[in-house]
Structure 1
Amino acid sequence: MGNANLSLAISVLLMVVTIGNIYLLLFLGKKLGFFKFKWDFINLKNIVIIVGGFLLARVIAIGGTLLLNNQGAESTANDVAIQTIFTGENPILIVLLIGISAPIMEEIIFRGAIIGFWFENLPMVGIAISSILFGLVHGPTNVISFLIYGLMGLILSIAYYKTKRLEVSISIHFFNNIFSAIAIAIGLI
């Protein structure tokens, strides 16, 4: 088997595993009661929160990146790692992992489990812990990169808290990640 065939086989295997992982996460999230995943979450209030949350997240990402550039860094260590790992990979795999699987997995853990389950009766504590952990998990190397991800975590946490719908924070996270995933997939980054 040549390198191209092996690479294709690995990509297909990773796509199958990723799709299985997405299904498992959705199944477990529903079974544990973290979310319903019904399309009835789409209403005017939630659409405003999704669009507003996404726009605010982009402002934070762009502003944070400008501050990093001002200090001589091009982007966060997390972004560099993602770009390095996925350069030259199958575009479908990139979109599945970064654009779909990561938002679902991270929202089930950081919003569903932490805020909605462990800190259900202390939501402000849950929001603080969720946001801090979200910032730390994204591998900050300085205060600015921690703030970029911590504030994004705060936006996602507040969206979840205000709506009590994990689908809303997943949607914001999806839109935030999908543009980067597509840019990496088509070689713009």
Structure 2
Amino acid sequence: MASYQVPIENKLPMPHQEPPRKRIKSPKDIAERLLFLVIAIVLIYVPQVPMSVVLVLKKRGTPASMPLYIAMFALMIALYIGAVWLMRFLIHRYTDQPLVRRWEKRDALYVVLGYLAMFGAKLILLPFYTSISGEQLTKNDAVIRGMLKDGNQIIFMIVFMTVIAAPILEEMVFRGYVMTAFYTRNPIWPILISGVLFGLVHQNNNIAGTLIYVALGAILAYVYRRTGNITVNIGLHFLNNAPMIFMALQFIK
């Protein structure tokens, strides 16, 4: 007996084939989307406040007590959950399309190819950055590495943020929201906007460092444009940040 095939017309349309339900029609629309973009970027930093509190206490020589640390960690998780929920709301102001889709074979292929592209971008651009700054790590990576030296409390929070929370929230902001709210039929502009914003948000001390993150953001944006599945991007972002786990293991006492 022949296996049942899902009719092509029943498959969800891809993002580049299906525009958002609310297109930009006036300057007021642009202003609204820009305002929500500012809110979205602020949301990236808000959940980091509890970690900053723990870090400041450590720097002052009065490490957080275990009850306070647990409370700050729990607050951090709660703020990330709240930020993700709010981003989901903002994204769906402009589209009826689901963020999460059933994975297909090509999705796994995009993760592999995307990871190789990101690795290649870093391989090409890092020497350029080093020649300008004299540093082996970008400022963003150097800041994180420096924080890892501040004890186990900070280490666990950083690993949670960089490996789990950041891939989810940043993909919802820079891919889910930006590429929906500022959708164009021509994929170049949303990909460029997403990449540039991603590069600017990450801490860097020169244009070469920013360019690395712009390239990484553009690759992630291209993958989202092709798959329309935010979980594919989250998985790819996770793979890119996963080495942080091994870096953190060096500092756990």
TM-score range, shorter chain: 0.7 to 0.9
1:145 is matched with: 209
Q: Give the equivalent residue in structure 2 for 1:156.
A: 220
* 1:160 Cα deviation from its structure 2 partner: 0.5
Please tell me whether residue 78 in structure 1 is matched to residue 136 in structure 2: no
Question: Match for residue 13 of structure 1?
Answer: 71
Counterpart residue type for residue 85 of structure 2: F
| 1:33-72 to 2 correspondences below 5 Å | 33=92, 36=98, 38=100, 40=102, 42-71=103-132, 72=134
Describe the shift of the 1:62–1:89 C-alpha distance in structure 2 as closer, same or farther (beyond 3 A).
Answer: farther
Which residue is 2:178 aligned to?
Answer: 114
Please state how far the C-alpha of 1:168 moved relative to its aligned partner: 1.4
Contact 1:131–1:151 at 8 Å: present in 2 too?
yes
* Identical pairs, percent: 28
CA deviation after TM superposition for structure 1 residue 127, in Å? 1.5
The CA deviation at 1:48 is 0.6
> TM-score, length-normalised on structure 2?
0.64
- CA shift at 1:167, angstroms? 1.3
Instruction: State the alpha-carbon separation in 2 of the partners of residues 132 and 67 from structure 1.
Output: 18
Which residue, 100, 104, 119 being the options, matches 2:168? 104
Q: Give the number of the structure whose alpha-carbon radius of gyration is greater.
A: 2
Which consecutive residues of structure 1, in runs of 5 or more, have no partner in the other structure?
none
Aligned pairs, how many?
A: 185
* Unpaired stretches in structure 2, ≥5 consecutive residues: 1-60
Say which is worse superposed, 17-26 or 53-62, in terms of deviation.
Answer: 17-26
What is the TM-score normalised by the length of structure 1?
0.82
One-letter amino acid of the structure 1 residue matched with residue 194 of structure 2: S
Question: Are the counterparts in 2 of residues 115 and 123 from structure 1 also a CA contact under 8 Å?
Answer: no
* Cα-Cα RMSD: 2.7
SS of the aligned residue for 2:204 comes to coil
